[in-house]
A and B are shown apart, each in its own frame.
Chain A
Amino acid sequence: MMDRLIARTVRQRRPLSVHIDLTYRCNERCVHCYLDHRDYGELTTPEILGVLEDLAAAGTLFLTFSGGEIFLRPDLFEILGAARRLHFDVSLKTNALLVTAERAARLRELGVRRVQISIYSDDPAIHDAVTKVRGSLERSLAAIPLLQAQGLHVKIACPLMTENLSSFRGVLALAERLGVAYIFDMTITPMIDGDASTLAHRASGTQLLPILRDPVLRSCRPQPGDAPPLPSGVGSAVSSGIESDAYDDLPCSAGHNSCYVSPYGDVYACVQLPVSAGNLRRECFAEIWSGAPALERVRAIRESQLPVCSACSIRKYCERCPGLAFMEGGDLLGAYERACELAEQNARIAGVPNPVSALHAQQGTERRPVPAEMPLDAMVTI
């Protein structure tokens, strides 16, 4: 049913899923965060309510409110009330530091379906070192039973970086113990203004290999050859596009049936593709969505026509993202090192002998040998 809905909305170019960051302000200071937390003039309450009306009229069903930290918006519940009246399916992304029993009950009353909470480790020292807020793990975890008691679906999102790789199994166990879904995200991006300092926290493909090989994650994913050959417990914790096979030759949902709105009203194809297609303070959503050149450029991308990647022999193991291709290589259509590195690791795990991406083949890069002191079999567990 979902695939059919996706196919129809792509064909009709309906913005089925929209991600709105209500603020970039935050009460944590995560070391890897790509946002500038200052407030440069967020959309006001009436402006946001107007945007919601426009999105409902455009056919949006799935709405994700994120940030920054959404609970720093004093009008959050007013916004959620408006979303409820307009019949959106609402998901939230939060660090949950400000969730109380009363607020959790209010979320249920307002029909919120899912709450995604950022958790970096089961070890307070590691989690709190990432967020730079002492006691933050304890407070975030305390929110989970409050939300569950209200019948809300809770998901733990764990971006993986050099600081918390050792916590991978602990977070898995934590999710199991709490009875919540989880997603591990290996994507650490440059900051939204292009500053690449956050990349210092990015784990290498070799460092991530034990996670890519993890039997728990691999047990919930189809084998290579089936689509998608990627673990369901691994993906983007940031993007709110809908993953599906129904996109065929399209790289993803961005600009086809999903988009992103910044706290300042800028419309992007995706949060991971920060090129403004227009601003909702100057134009209505329908005008931007129907033909902004920045969206049309994204819509024109076809996987089969990518200059380098279309000829790649390990393409099906790759998580190439047009936004990251643009942010990391400056080219929406280009190949980029990070995707190639992870695709080669995924292919190697799947048993492909000596996998080399098209980009590396062009560069004449030979497969980097796995160091002798770290044989693959020994890297299954951390």
Chain B
Amino acid sequence: MNAVAPTLWQRNPVLAWREIDGEAVIISPGESVMHELNGTGSFVWELLDGRHTPAQIAALLSAEYEVSSETALRDTESLLQELASLRLILQAGVNAGLAGVPADR
């Protein structure tokens, strides 16, 4: 049986965002809507670079915040689902529809 490759997520490159006092403030230009992530959400946000799998992010979250790996994975997947539904993150390698946008750092 072939293992399914985990989805890799990256921040939507069109977003404006800044981590302020440990909390990420995110603005989507089309809707002019502001979103704010708490400390753990911001920790995950920083890792959404298209290279970390959800499991890897959860492992780092578990180590950083001393929560069980099950809790960390559940919370990470829940957050990713929410961020994806808001189009704040995109599947890595999938065209964001923004030709010419410089690569995310």
B30 near A151: Cβ-Cβ < 8 Å: yes
Q: Which residue of B lies closest to A87 (CB)?
A: B17
Whether A111 contacts B32 by the Cβ 8 Å rule is no
Bound form: Cα–Cα A8–B29 in Å: 23
| A87/B18 in contact, CB under 8 A | yes
Which of B1-9, B48-56, B67-75, B94-102 has 4 or more CB atoms under 8 Å from chain A? Answer: B94-102
**A25 interface hit (Cβ, 8 Å):** no
Tell whether, in the assembled complex, residue B20 and residue A14 are in contact, meaning their CB atoms are under 8 Å apart: yes
Pick from A16, A59, A60, A111: contact of B14, CB under 8 Å: A111
Total A-B contacts with CB atoms under 8 angstroms apart: 64
A374 touches B (CB below 8 Å) = no
| Contacting residues, chain B, for A16 (C-beta < 8 A) | 20
The distance in angstroms between the C-alpha atoms of A109 and B18, with both chains bound, is: 20
Q: Which of B21, B25, B98, B100 contacts A61 (CB 8 A)?
A: B25
- Taking a contact as CB atoms under 8 Å apart, the answer to whether A112 and B98 are in contact is no
A372 contacts the other chain (CB 8 A):
no
**Given A1-B36, A87-B15, do A111 and B20 touch, yes or no (CB 8 Å)?**
no
Question: When A1-B36, A89-B29 are in contact, do A84 and B101 touch as well, CB less than 8 Å?
Answer: yes
Bound-complex Cα distance A9 to B15 (A) = 20
B38 vs chain A, min Cβ distance (A):
12
Task: Select the residue from B17, B36, B98, B102 with max chain A CB neighbours within 10 A.
Answer: B102
Would you call B99 and A109 a contact (CB within 8 A)?
Answer: yes
Say yes or no: is B27 at the interface (Cβ < 8 Å to chain A): yes
* Chain B neighbourhood of A362, CB < 8 A: none
Distance from A149 Cβ to chain B, minimum over Cβ atoms (Å): 13
Interface size class, chain B? 20 to 34
Indicate whether B63 reaches chain A with its CB closer than 8 angstroms: no
Dominant secondary structure of chain A at its interface with chain B: mixed
CB of B20 within 8 A of CB of A90, answer no
CB–CB A84/B102 < 8 A: yes
The answer on a CB contact under 8 Å between B16 and A88 is yes
B86 interface residue per 8 A CB criterion: no
| B103 partner residues in chain A, CB cutoff 8 A | 85
Identify which of A8, A86, A88, A153 contacts B20 (C-beta below 8 A).
Answer: A8
* Distance between Cα atoms of A60 and B29 in the complex (Å): 16
A65 to chain B, nearest CB (A): 14
Please determine whether B25 and A111 come into contact, CB atoms closer than 8 angstroms.
Answer: no
When the two chains form their complex, are residues B16 and A61 in contact, meaning their CB atoms are under 8 A apart?
A: yes
Interface residues of A in 46-102 (CB under 8 A from B): 56, 59-61, 81, 84-90
A8 to B27, CA, bound (A): 17
Question: Considering the chains assembled together, what is the distance between the CA atoms of A104 and B105 in angstroms?
Answer: 24
Contact (Cβ within 8 A) A87 B16: yes
Which of A's residues lie within 8 Å of B, judged by CB?
A: 1-2, 5, 8-9, 12, 14, 16, 56, 59-61, 81, 84-90, 106, 109-114, 151, 153
Identify 15 new A-B residue pairs, CB closer than 8 A, beyond the known A8-B21, A61-B25. A56-B18, A59-B18, A84-B13, A85-B103, A85-B104, A85-B105, A87-B16, A87-B17, A88-B16, A106-B100, A109-B99, A109-B100, A111-B15, A111-B16, A111-B101
